[in-house]
Chain A
């Protein structure tokens, strides 16, 4: 099982979106943040791909994962969390 925690994932997403640490809650959604647009989504996926050693690149459903719960659910589905 991966040693990466949900908290680490959220921290990486905050950094990708240039959001202050602690501002992204566990239920945060894209529509709540100006920076979380399509370019922001790409920044998130690039950062997560780096965090998970290249394992995100082929998870196509990540493109539409526009909330923290959706991202976490997909990571769990793929046994990355």
Chain B
């Protein structure tokens, strides 16, 4: 399969493993959120499960969990980006991970399908922050003024795609309206538990836009902390269970 402008990237899965991944323009680069989600699922999932990697990008989340023996194959994965779907298929094949990969938006490819575990690697940041950030080069980020539109929609639809006793993992970035996201999650799930957190310094490219960021913080759209001479953000991973509908 020829993927246009395919390259390779390396990603560390921790002290024990590094993977080499097929990558291309329009595919989201794995980052801190990816690592946090992988760790959160590893720490809380006791046995193999049917799993949907939603917003799979390179497929690295599903791969990492497959290496841990946590997937009842095939792994299911999807992404809006066709290059991401293509790269994921290459990566799953490369690492002998049986997988079914579909393209489409959010849960559209999975009508009528249910899973034991859904890992949502789709997050968002406030639109005006995304516009000046280095993270969305060629990758869509249409997540609304407070960065939560996509994740809210995913949280609301996730219960329909979970088997009984299923788990839904999702990330929350402090460059979005965290309180609103968690409020929606609690409206949809009986239990919403934080299962990971990583603080990180604001990148230099965003420090140049501090007046904008402070304005957004004052409006409640994002959260920042100033400490150690740094401007700090955070990513948290949550596990939601017991859907309320």
* Interface residues in chain A, defined as those with a beta carbon under 8 Å from any beta carbon in chain B: 18, 38-39, 41-42, 45-46, 49, 56-57, 59-64
Contacts and interface: CB of A to CB of B under 8 A. Distances in A.
Contacts of B228: 42, 45, 49, 56-57, 59-60, 62-63
A38 B202 CA distance: 9
Contacts, number: 34
Contacts of A62: 228-229
Nearest to B14: A18
B230 A39 contact: no
Contact of B229 (A18, A39, A46, A64): A64
The 6 A-B pairs of least Cβ separation, nearest first, read A60-B229, A63-B229, A45-B228, A38-B201, A63-B230, A57-B227
Contacts of A61: 229
B95 interface: no
Contacts of B232: 42
A50 B198 CA distance: 17
Interface string B11-48: 00001000000000000000010000000000000000
**Interface range on chain B (Cβ under 8 Å from partner):** 10 to 19
A53 to B, nearest CB: 15
Interface of A is mostly: helix
Contacts of B200: 38-39, 42
A57 B203 CA distance: 19
Interface of B: 15, 32, 198-201, 203, 227-230, 232
Among B15, B32, B203, B229, which residue has the most Cβ atoms of chain A within 10 A? B229
A42 B230 contact: yes
Nearest to A34: B12
Contact of B201 (A18, A41, A56): A41
A75 B78 CA distance: 50
Contacts of A59: 228-229
A64 B201 CA distance: 12
A42 B201 contact: yes
A48 B76 CA distance: 43
Nearest to B200: A39
Contacts of B227: 57
B187 to A, nearest CB: 33
